Each structure stands twice: as C-alpha cells, then as structure tokens.
Chain A
Amino acid sequence: MRLIFITLLALMLATVVGLGATWMTATRGTDLGTLTIGAWTARPKTGTADIDPYSRASIARSGELPVGTGDGVAFSATSDDRKRPLDGRCDVVVSGVTPAARFWTLTLYDSKGRLVANSLQRYGFTSQEVVRSADGSFEVRVAARSRAGNWLPTGGIERYALVLRLYDTPVGVATRTQRDAPMPSIATVGCS
C-alpha cells in the first residue's frame, strides 16, 4: 500500500516538474544562445540549422517562422533600458542608431505576436520611412496618442513587444557586444 502511494507520488511529481519546466521554457524562452544588447535580445542561431531544442520547441509552440541567417536577424524587446516592462499607456522613446544593415524594420506587436490596430494603419517603421536628424540618428515615439515626428501607436494596450529586424546585415552568430551592434536605446519618458 505504502509502496504504491510512494510510486504514485513520484510519478505525479515527475509529470508536474517535467511538463511544467517544458511549458516554462517554451513560453518564456531560455538564455541559450541569446545575444543581449541593452534591452534587446536576439537568438541568431534560430535562423540556422544548429538551432537549439528549446528554441525549436518555442517556435513550434508560437507558430512563427524564424528569420533565416542569410536573410537577417530579429531583436525583440519587452522592457525598456531600466527593465521596466513596455506599457502601451506610457510614452516610450526609441532613439539612436542601428547596426549596419541594408534595411531594418521596427514593428510593434501584442504579447501574442499580432499587430495592434490603429486608425493610421501604422504598425512599424522601415529604415526608409523613419524621419532622421542631421546626424543620421532617429527618434521614434511609441505612445497611445498622436505625437509629432515618428509616432508609433500602441492602441493603449498594456503590454507590447518591439521587434527590430535587420536585413542583409553582418550582425549574427558572431556578434557579442554593443560595439559590434549599436542598438537604439529604449526609455519610458512618462505615463498618462
């Protein structure tokens, strides 16, 4: 009787621990092969044949297609430079320069990877659209209400993610630091 109870307990524990850990890693991701620059993270290896099993599991779960390495690399951010989660009700400024690339796009998604509806039908900026200052740097204002300059509407949703994709770029598996890839800063400047 006692043996059965103990075996059952061990098996239940195994199921909870095992599947729980899988769920956690598949939804949140792991630090395996991550490249973090400021608030931005990328997993350049997900675009190659040596993708790690954890990234494969999370891609299979989300249903996205990773950007191939010969195509480009995707950096995503869900918090600002001070680790504060990106809030659609606040004004967030993304400013600075981007790493060398033929083109880049900056896109705003909700937590499930959908675009956020807005009257302008603006879901992001491309490197060609964005208005720059004389020195080539840019400033994008991510806010719920209309702002002057490069305004990226959030639709007032609570949590969102910014994805900066670099196309035809030397940034990739060999990139390590900010010096190789100067990423724009993300700052929350005020909440309404």
Chain B
Amino acid sequence: MIRLLFTIAAGMLLGGIVHLVSVLALPRIATQDAYSRLAPVTKLNAVTSLPQADPGNAPLPFMDPAFAVAVCRYDLTQGPIKLTVPVSQAYTSVSFYTRNEVAYYAINDRSAGRKVIELDLMTEAQHAELPEDEDVTAADRLIIDAPTAAGLIVLKALAPEPGLMPQARATLAASSCKVQTEPTPAKR
C-alpha cells in the first residue's frame, strides 16, 4: 500500500517535470507555428504581401481582416536590415517577432511621427560594431536590436472601410526591407 502511494507520488512529481520541460520545449519543436507557416510563402529579406484573410484560406489563424498585411522574413547574418514603410492614411504599424514569435518591438505611425517609418534592425553585435560617428546621428535613425538573428517583421495597414483596402495594400507594396551590405559610414 505504501509502495503504491509512493509510486503515485513519484509519478506525479515526474509528471510535473515532464510538464515544465514540454511547455518550455513546445515553441522550439512546434512545426505549425507562425514562422513555419509563413516561411514557404515569403521571401527572405524582402517584403511579401500576404493574401487577404478570408474564410477559405488564411495564412495564419486569428488575422484581422480589416488590415492589409505584409511580412519581411529576416536573417541578420548577412548584415543589418533597413526597413522603410510609407504611412497609410488611417493607421500603419510595424511589429517585430523573433523566430519563436516573441513580439519584442512594435511601433505605429503616430509614435514614429513621420510620413515614412524608417528603421534599422540589427543584432546587438552589429550595433556594437557601428562606428562612433554613426551613433551621433542615431537620434534620427531608429535602431532596433534584434534578440535573435532570424525572425519576422509584420507590416500592417488598416483599411477602415472595405473600399479602402486597395489603398492600404498599395501602401505596403511601396515599402521595402533589405540587407545593408555595406554599413555606409557617414564620412565628412
């Protein structure tokens, strides 16, 4: 009897460990996560417009149908990424996700405060390598440190009415996301 109770207690304790390990491991082993779903349909280090979400096919679950969405799947190993997104009439936002869908940064058109959202995305190591004089001008170029080398940038433009969707999509089509092969130092 005591032995059976001991077995159950040991099983529960081990079960707790299995539970914790599997919860922590799930984001790494998931094959149907957002990044894996988007990887086959998006270009690397370039902006890809996602098709409009409709009942028949949606690239991801729980997408907001009022938004035009484009994705830049990035890999920073070749160099920092420069992102330029023109602001649409209604509302535009840019969100950054790691390979495992952690939303580490998001900005909207109002907080960017300009007609065009311009951002530089780089790893912390690349940021540290920036020449000193570049850092002086950092005030007007927004530099974002990526926690991981790979991930997703999601660009969204709101169509407040269905009729405005073509405009929202056109805004995103004009955006760009590309690797800066040379970190063009500001010489004077």
Tell me if A186 is interfacial: C-beta within 8 Å of chain B. Answer: no
**Stretch in B53-61, B119-127, B129-137 with 4+ CB within 8 Å of A:** B53-61
Complexed CA–CA distance, A15 and B63 (Å): 34
Chain A positions 24-79 with a Cβ under 8 Å from a chain B Cβ = 25-26, 46-49, 51, 53-54, 56-57, 59-72
**Could you tell me if B95 and A165 are in contact, using CB atoms closer than 8 angstroms?**
no
Q: Kindly identify which residue among A9, A17, A49, A61 contacts B102, using a CB–CB cutoff of 8 Å.
A: A49
Complexed CA–CA distance, A168 and B30 (Å): 31
Give the nearest-CB partner of B160 in chain A. A128
Tell me if B93 is interfacial: C-beta within 8 Å of chain A. Answer: yes
Q: Is the interface of B mostly helix, strand, loop or mixed?
A: mixed
Nearest-neighbour CB distance to chain B for A101, whole angstroms, equals: 10
Tell me if B26 is interfacial: C-beta within 8 Å of chain A. Answer: yes
Chain B positions 1-57 with a Cβ under 8 Å from a chain A Cβ = 3-4, 7-8, 10-19, 21-24, 26-27, 30, 32-34, 36-37, 53-56
**Could you tell me if A17 and B34 are in contact, using CB atoms closer than 8 angstroms?**
no
**Could you tell me if A22 and B160 are in contact, using CB atoms closer than 8 angstroms?**
no
**Could you tell me if A70 and B105 are in contact, using CB atoms closer than 8 angstroms?**
yes
Chain B positions 86-108 with a Cβ under 8 Å from a chain A Cβ = 90-91, 93, 95-97, 100-108
Residues of A within 8 A of B36 (CB): 63
Nearest-neighbour CB distance to chain A for B93, whole angstroms, equals: 4
Residues of A within 8 A of B97 (CB): 65, 68
**Could you tell me if A128 and B161 are in contact, using CB atoms closer than 8 angstroms?**
yes
Nearest-neighbour CB distance to chain A for B147, whole angstroms, equals: 7
Give the nearest-CB partner of A112 in chain B. B61
Complexed CA–CA distance, A167 and B158 (Å): 10
Tell me if B110 is interfacial: C-beta within 8 Å of chain A. Answer: yes
Complexed CA–CA distance, A70 and B103 (Å): 10
**Could you tell me if A107 and B65 are in contact, using CB atoms closer than 8 angstroms?**
yes
Nearest-neighbour CB distance to chain A for B98, whole angstroms, equals: 9
Give the nearest-CB partner of B37 in chain A. A63
**Could you tell me if A68 and B62 are in contact, using CB atoms closer than 8 angstroms?**
no
Complexed CA–CA distance, A126 and B11 (Å): 51
**Could you tell me if B61 and A64 are in contact, using CB atoms closer than 8 angstroms?**
yes
Chain B positions 123-154 with a Cβ under 8 Å from a chain A Cβ = 147, 152, 154
Tell whether A165 pairs with B10 under 8 Å between CB atoms, given A14-B18, A49-B147, A60-B27.
no
Nearest-neighbour CB distance to chain A for B8, whole angstroms, equals: 7
Measuring CB to CB, which residues of chain A are less than 8 angstroms from any residue of chain B? 6, 9-19, 21-22, 25-26, 46-49, 51, 53-54, 56-57, 59-72, 102-103, 105, 107, 109, 112-117, 121, 123-124, 126-129, 163, 165, 167-168
17 further interface pairs, Cβ-Cβ under 8 Å (given A13-B15, A103-B90): A6-B3, A10-B11, A14-B11, A18-B18, A47-B103, A64-B61, A65-B154, A66-B101, A71-B95, A71-B108, A105-B64, A105-B66, A115-B58, A115-B65, A128-B90, A129-B160, A163-B62
